[in-house]
Homo-oligomer: A and B are copies of this chain.
Amino acid sequence: MTAHTRVRLSPDERRAQLLDLGVTLLATRSLDEISIDVLAEEAGISRGLLYHYFGNKHAFHEAVVRRAADDLIAQTAPPTEGDPLERLQASMEAYVDYVVTNYAGYRSLVKAAAGGHEGLRAIYDEVQGVLVERIFAEDEGTLTVPDTPAVRLVLRGWSTMVEELVLVWCEDASGVTREELHRMVTDSMPALVAITLGAGA
């Protein structure tokens, strides 16, 4: 169908093109549905070229997920001004907004991380770690979140819960307003920390 005049790009350009395409496709198909054939066809290149740039399918998938994860972290960065509680709320709001607007892609990302091998899981854990770390960074005595093993554990659980809540809400809000969701998500954090500290006493 399409003309096959060979197009030659610089390595950086080609790499960027393939990565962008990968992230784009992630919003339509799941990660393991992005076969080498599909991607090569979509990009208008041969399969061999993809191997030249990324080595193998798994490494390519990792690169795509890494890029998507970086986008998420950048776009949900909390503001540098305001008191800790406000910054937390702003950060959570940014997170909800991100998931709502990038729903399909984010769903694929989570799915890929949960179902994939070590490397993908590591990237996901890294994202979750950054999100949780912000809690401690933003807390300057106001929220009084001590850094104990139990607190770290419960914050990880909270993080996973937030993700699930937002994703399920996106699929089917069914009578729950965005404000309710938002309060649910933010208020639960200090509550869970309080429970954890109470249990540890």
A residues bordering B, Cβ < 8 Å? 110-112, 114-116, 148-150, 153-154, 156-158, 160-162, 164-165, 168-169, 174-176, 179-181, 183-184, 187-188, 191-192, 195-196, 198-200
Contact = CB atoms under 8 A, between A and B. Distances in A.
Nearest to A158: B161
Contacts of A199: 179-180, 183-184, 187
Given A112-B115, A164-B160, A180 B195 contact: no
The 5 closest A-B pairs by CB, nearest first: A115-B115, A114-B114, A161-B161, A149-B175, A183-B199
B184 A191 contact: no
A189 to B, nearest CB: 10
Contact of A115 (B114, B148, B150, B160): B114
Most buried by B among A111, A115, A181: A115
Contact of A154 (B149, B150, B165, B179): B165
Contacts of A181: 153
Number of copies of this chain that the complex holds: 2
Contacts of A183: 195, 199
A21 B87 CA distance: 52
Contact of A160 (B149, B161, B169, B184): B161
Contacts of A200: 180
12 contacts: A111-B114, A111-B115, A114-B114, A114-B115, A156-B165, A161-B164, A179-B199, A180-B199, A184-B195, A187-B199, A188-B192, A191-B195
Contact of A157 (B150, B153, B164, B196): B164
A157 B168 contact: yes
Nearest to A33: B117
A59 B157 CA distance: 32
Given A158-B161, A180-B199, A184-B196, 12 more contacts: A111-B115, A114-B115, A115-B115, A150-B175, A157-B162, A157-B164, A157-B165, A160-B160, A160-B161, A184-B199, A191-B195, A192-B192
